[in-house]
Amino acid sequence: MPPRRPPPTAPPPPEGPLTVDSVGGEGDGVIHLTDGRLLHVPGILPGEVVRLRAGREGPVLEAIESPSPDRRPPPCVYFGTCGGCALQHWDDAAALAWKVERLRSTLALERLEAEILPVVRTAPATRRRTALHARRGDNRRIARLGFKARRSWNLVEISDCIVLDPAITAALPGLRRLAAPFLEHPKSAPTLHVTSTGTGLDIDVTGVEARSGGLSADARMAAAEIAAELGIARLTLAGDSVFLQRRPVVQFGRARVEIPAGGFLQASAAAEAALVAEVGAAAAGARRIADLFCGAGAFTFPLAGIAPVLATDASAAAIGALTAAIATAPGLHGITAEVRDLFRRPVLASELRRIDFVVFDPPRAGATAQAAEIALSGVGRVAAVSCNPATFVRDARQLVDAGFRIERILPVDQFLWSPHLELTAIFSR
């Protein structure tokens, strides 16, 4: 057998001081070299003069000779090792201006223009859902718990997080114990998907080795006992019930909704409120509304206070939760809920004949097929909600080509200190 070749290594960075040109899409500083190469280096800012050294994965910051006036001390002790935040070293106002300019530039790629409203920025300690990775520790009864390092499988253990809801950070010591039974199989790499709800923490665990028989009855029992001791509302394993003490409930408009295990929820309640308020204002006066990619009803229930709503989503669990919650919100206009894969079977223009307002909130991949049907329909006003400006502008181009114009875009910064930006855009014919 021939000897294994060592993995290729990146060429070393040039010696001497280098000037940072810009910040790239992942939050790294970008340096343009004279030979045409681009260096992407975490932790550096535009205009800074820096020295780099070679690292295993690429160039590494060695020294900042001339710092940016927008540089600030990062507020988190894990910054620089944890992969969760990329921009804590950048002044908030400057980082937000960069996010908005990236949005404007993305619009320009499709020759689109729009009024961009002031950014709604959520506060620290308000993120109500997270994914915590667990690994074995020295004590078999206590797992190591935290986030992955940037561009790595290595785990950065945390004992606090300034982004997360205090209910989650307070639970971290107990969650280390809760994760331990899920490490029963040596190939398991559990991830605890933790959501803070109105009735307590809801936790769905994925990444447990299943081909060898899955979690044993003893490990399930141990996990259930720890969950009961910690006061966890619900514990599931890839959606399968392990322990239920209280049904995890969130408030959508007037409705109390039991969210499905592992189901989608906006990362911050404040961000959700801003998006719902903007969409609701655009829907005022509508006679019939369609909520496409509706999830468990974050927009459906507030909009049903305006007019009857057709709500569709591919998740049967989400539609089930939405349907069950209708009884908790008397006095709304009618809600018709349907399980439907809008990528394979979008709601057709002919089915939108009686609809005069549509909101669609697709995953990061966007909604090409559904946007095409909206463009062909007679709908007069549309709200597009997106966590990915790149796919948003692709879908927006279809609407604009069909005679819509973008009235305004509301950016929502709910992923603090990351390059990501949520938005909702209002269209009218």
Q: What is the number of other CB atoms lying within 10 angstroms of the CB of residue 265?
A: 21
> Can 294 be counted among the known catalytic residues?
no
How does the average pLDDT of the chain come out, rounded? 95
Joined tokens for residue 412: 């929502």
**pLDDT surpassing 80 at residue 196:** yes
159-163, 210-214, 275-279, 284-288: segment of lowest average pLDDT: 210-214
- Per-residue confidence band for 4, with pLDDT thresholds at 50, 70 and 90: low
Pick 129-249's CATH classification: 1.10.3720.10, 2.40.50.1070, 3.40.50.1370, 3.40.50.300: 2.40.50.1070
Q: Which secondary structure element, helix H or strand E, spans residue 255, and what is its range?
A: strand 255-258
Per-residue confidence (pLDDT) for residue 10, from 0 to 100: 64
Residues of the chain with CATH 2.40.50.1070: 129-249
Higher pLDDT: 234 or 2? It is: 234
Confirm if 419 and 125 have CB atoms less than 8 A apart. no
Per-residue confidence (pLDDT) for residue 210, from 0 to 100: 86
CA dist 73 → 50, 192, 198, 416 (Å): 17, 30, 34, 16
Which DSSP symbol is given to 79? B
CATH fold for domain 95-123+268-428 = Rossmann fold (3.40.50)
Per-residue confidence (pLDDT) for residue 1, from 0 to 100: 47
234-237/240-244 β-pairing: antiparallel
**pLDDT surpassing 70 at residue 6:** no
Mean pLDDT of 165-190: 96
CATH fold for domain 18-71 = OB fold (Dihydrolipoamide Acetyltransferase, E2P) (2.40.50)
Mean pLDDT of 205-209: 95
In sequence order, the 6+-apart residues with CB closer than 8 A to the CB of 109 are 393
Confirm if 167 and 103 have CB atoms less than 8 A apart. no
Joined tokens for residue 163: 């982004």
Could you identify the residue written with the tokens 């561009």?
Answer: 151
**pLDDT surpassing 90 at residue 347:** yes
Mean pLDDT of 27-32: 94
Residues of the chain with CATH 3.40.50.150: 95-123+268-428
Which tens digit of pLDDT belongs to each residue from 401-421?
Answer: 999 999 999 999 999 999 999
What is the Cα–Cα distance from 264 to 397, expressed in whole angstroms?
Answer: 27
**pLDDT surpassing 50 at residue 174:** yes
What is the Cα–Cα distance from 257 to 236, expressed in whole angstroms?
Answer: 18
Instruction: Quote the crossing angle between the two packed helices 92-109 and 389-401, to the nearest 10°.
Output: 40
Joined tokens for residue 350: 């002919």
56-60, 223-227, 259-263: segment of lowest average pLDDT: 56-60
Identify the active-site residue in 85, 161, 294, 387.
387
Mean pLDDT of 279-296: 98
Residues of the chain with CATH 2.40.50.140: 18-71
Joined tokens for residue 243: 């322990």
Which tens digit of pLDDT belongs to each residue from 316-331?
Answer: 999 999 999 999 999 9
φ and ψ at 168, to 5 degrees? -80, -45
Mean pLDDT of 372-394: 97
Which tens digit of pLDDT belongs to each residue from 63-77?
Answer: 999 999 999 999 999
**pLDDT surpassing 70 at residue 344:** yes
